[in-house]
Amino acid sequence: MAANLLEKLRQMLLDMQHSGRLSDIEPGLYEDARAYVEKLKADYYGLKNPLESRAGSLIIEEIGSVTETVQEIFSIRTRQILGLAFQQMEGQYFDKEEARKMLPAEREMYGRIIDAIEGCRETLVHGGEYTFSSGGAAAALRDNDEVDDEAPEASGSERPGAPASRPIQSPYALVHIRSDMESFMGVDGRTYVLKQGDIVTLPENNADVLCEHDIALNIRLNK
């Protein structure tokens, strides 16, 4: 792992903030950052007195800096992807070059967002009933001549115990889970089994509680 990873991440973040557009990032960026943080943790626990040493303090600071920078990169890209989703739904100009810059997981999120917007509009504007699914990703990308030569594989591997797709009947929030947690029953009666890194829709009441305890980050639909 390169010793200058943090500087690389910071420069990437500055470029994103300056351009305002979705940019190419290395496919292994998040994995490299996680591996680097794990290495730092191992270095920390390998110190004789980590809590009392200057080296230990510096490692903790670097872990925090890497984690916060990666989170900000994720947040900026998520907001940009939300903007692309709104453009797609409103029939505005859609930049296919930006769509090609999405990572596979981001494409999946993009499709789910479009699917959720379609369902919400069908329910609220047209008064219909709409069952939410994960089909939006493939449909949206096909409508734009495909962003890759091959369509991204459907995940189809939801974690056991995760809420099944069903019509949304009460206020929900899209959140990013920041740490592992025990399973719980939401106010909607569903049992949620979530782990760090999950991006899910939760009842707003439950999402607010998790965000207050810094367990989740609310991915809001406005900048």
Q: Is the pTM of this model over 0.75?
A: no
Domain 5-157 - what CATH class? mainly alpha
Give the architecture (CATH level 2) of 158-223: 3-Layer(aba) Sandwich (3.40)
Of 46, 39, 93, nearest to 63 (Cα)? 39
With vertex at residue 93, the alpha carbon angle to CA 111 and CA 84, rounded to the nearest 5 degrees, is 35
Three-state secondary structure of 58-71: HHHHHHHHHHHHHH
Give the chain's length. 223
Q: 133 falls in which pLDDT band (50, 70, 90)?
A: low
- Report the distance separating Cα 125 and Cα 109, nearest Å: 23
The residue that leads in pLDDT, 175 or 139, is: 175
Rounded alpha-carbon distances, angstroms, from residue 209 to 84, 180, 184, 193: 29, 15, 12, 16
The residue that leads in pLDDT, 70 or 142, is: 70
Residue 103, pLDDT score: 92
Q: How does pLDDT run across 68-115, given as a tens digit for each residue? A: 899 899 999 998 888 888 877 776 666 677 788 999 999 899 888 888
Rounded alpha-carbon distances, angstroms, from residue 192 to 102, 120, 133, 134, 210: 27, 22, 18, 18, 13
Delimit the domains of the chain by residue range.
5-157, 158-223
> 3-state DSSP call for residue 154?
coil
- DSSP-H helix ranges across 90-135: 96-99, 104-124
